[in-house]
Structure 1
Amino acid sequence: MLDLEGLTPREALGRALADLGDLRKDVVVLVADTGETTRARFFAERHPERFFNVGIAEQSLVGIAAGLALAGFMPYALTFAAFMTRAWEQARNSVDRLALPVRLVGTHAGFADAYDGPSHQALEDIAIFRVLPNFTVLVPADSCEVYRAVTASATVKGPVYIRVGRDFHIPTTCDMYDKFEVGRAYVAVEGKDVAIFTTGVTLPFAIEAAQLLRDRGISAAVVHFPTVKPLDYAAVEKYAAATGAVLTVEEHMVHGGFGSAVAEHLSQTRPTKMAIMGLKSYGRTAKSPQELYQYYGLTPENIAARAEELVRLR
């Protein structure tokens, strides 16, 4: 059995694609000269006849993927998340408007490519793919969830965007649940005073924040949303009603991302005391993602402090 806890997120991605290629002969993988950096080479080694490198040409990457989908294949197109944005027009017109089964995989997302600076740090990708009507948006937290999300994405009708990190890995979801269900949220910690909603790599920070809050006499629920679209509205409403205070945390801009999706729904169904933690501007060069989490305040201590403020304001 594959040891998912021992893999980095991009290694889990490569393994998932290779295994999916064993199960489905219609799966093809395309890269924009990123076969090594995305670990798509794992698929290439096992299925070389279904692997295509289009070069550093992201618009062609998505356009060719659309053509393969029209020909009956299920293409997975991989490049850095920051560079996938170059092909948004192709994603909109060639993929989304036709609701084609194309899977766009943005790797090195968020702060994952810390040392290459803000040009390589995708902090807007959830927003720009969430706005496309037919796209499903998956934001797994760790290697276990990357593998499960990629595997589950093969069952989705229409296009999918999958956001993946690089090497930063805190295995959190491996024992949280057994089966990944697209559109479902997962409860990491139960609580009654405040609900911390997370997506992607901020999950372990939120869990640690809940532990800090418990020491202060505050019961915080942590609910993880690996699917940003379609959002698990039932979970959103349940924990908003149970706690009366919601804090969302994401490695993304605060405008248009996961927190915005939660706010859009609650503002129309159950107005709730709420705050959104994330970024308000571009990133910066750093030695590691952890250094950037600290610099921008995405830490367990800051999450706990913001959640406590919400509890006091209820």
Structure 2
Amino acid sequence: MPENKLIATRDSYGHALVELADAGCNDLVVLDADLSVSTKTCMFRDAYPERFFDCGIAEANMMGVAAGLSTCGYVPFVSSFAMFAAGRAYEQIRNTIGYPHLNVKIAATHGGLSVGEDGASHQCCEDFALMRSIPGMTVICPADDVEARAAVKAAYRHNGPVYLRLGRLAAPVIHDEMKYSFEIGKGEQLTDGFDIAVIANGLMVGETLKAAAVLKKQGIGVRVINMPTIKPLDDDLVLRAAHDCKRVMTVEEHSVIGGLGEAVCSLLSEQLPTPVRRIGVNDQFGHSAPAWEVLADFGLTADHITAAITDFIQK
């Protein structure tokens, strides 16, 4: 993993939009809610200003505009912070996009605790739960630049509503662009191991890989699985990991309620009962501090993941 290369997936999003338009996707339009510099849709705005719409600080209205554009044959990508996209505009997403199953892509940046100093009001750790509950909604949280750009392009090709969570913090690039391919509904095994399977997504994939490298030196084999698509979940990959490793841990920058961990637990409880430990935000709000301090406070760093894996195995 080339850890010296760090790129925020929100930057990847901006680049991917331009790459799609450059490739001749003439039906692509982009909407933003007065945050284009932060969401990186400014890249698309500068390159294709006639296909960019700043809807102002009116996220709910923006969802309605996107819904209308989709009925006219366009493929709209709507962008804002996760708290405002998934949170403030939830009802419009549910009733105006989800219910009629319209072809709208919701790209939510600044998800999770790593918004840092912006504090609990902006640290959206409920978005997976909200979006998973909407029938027909695809939910994606890519781990790095390569995967994020591929996921944006896959979302464009997918017919139906998609929720993409993108990060503010720079994340290590773990994929080789020449070898990697993204498919909605598919995860990937990044390391081999039979002592425990750890399933992660987003920023937590890099931290889990660091933990696995430390534990490998101690003779503990950790099977790291990157699960970028939370809905639909890659059932076969999860079941195979549970069968082989007999223990499963999930790690996510999200509440343990309603997110990746709950999706994995729901599957295993019905099809292959397996001991599971969920690492995430435990039914509480975040707080304001530098991003990595907040993540450490909530046990979402490599050191904490290493300790949690060791404890789980010992017990």
Fold conserved (TM > 0.5)?
A: yes
Q: Where on the TM-score scale, by shorter chain, does this alignment land: which range?
A: over 0.9
Aligned residue runs from structure 1 range 289-300, under 5 A? 289-300=291-302
For residue 287 of structure 2, the aligned residue among 284, 289, 308 is: 284
Q: Which amino acid aligns with 2:273?
A: P
Cα distance change, pair 52–254 in 1 and its aligned pair in 2 (3 A): same
Deviation string 1:54-93 (CA, Å, 9 cap, x unpaired) is 1000100111100111111100000000111111101111
| TM-fit CA distance, 1:168 | 2.5
Structure 1: runs of 5+ lacking an equivalent: none
Aligned residue runs from structure 1 range 126-275, under 5 A? 126-174=128-176, 177-275=179-277
Cross-structure match for 2:58: 57
Cα distance change, pair 8–199 in 1 and its aligned pair in 2 (3 A): closer
TM-score (norm 2): 0.94
Q: Give secondary structure in 1 for the equivalent of 2:261.
A: helix
| TM-fit CA distance, 1:175 | 5.8
The answer to whether the 8 Å contact 2:7/2:173 transfers is no
Separation in 2, partners of 1:215, 1:95: 49
The answer to whether the 8 Å contact 1:104/1:160 transfers is yes
The answer to whether the 8 Å contact 1:192/1:220 transfers is yes
Deviation string 1:138-175 (CA, Å, 9 cap, x unpaired) is 10112222111111111212100000011332222346
The answer to whether the 8 Å contact 1:207/1:222 transfers is yes
Q: Give the RMSD, CA atoms, in angstroms.
A: 1.4
Q: Which amino acid aligns with 1:18?
A: V
Q: Are 1:83 and 2:84 counterparts?
A: yes
Separation in 2, partners of 1:177, 1:278: 30
- The percent of aligned pairs where both chains have the same amino acid is 38
Task: Report the count of equivalent residues.
Answer: 308
Deviation string 1:248-293 (CA, Å, 9 cap, x unpaired) is 0000000001100000100000000110000021111012x21111
The answer to whether the 8 Å contact 2:143/2:228 transfers is yes
Structure 2: runs of 5+ lacking an equivalent: none
Q: Give secondary structure in 1 for the equivalent of 2:38.
A: coil
TM-score (norm 1): 0.95
The answer to whether the 8 Å contact 1:112/1:168 transfers is no
Q: Which moved more, 1:45-54 or 1:263-272?
A: 45-54
Separation in 2, partners of 1:79, 1:216: 43
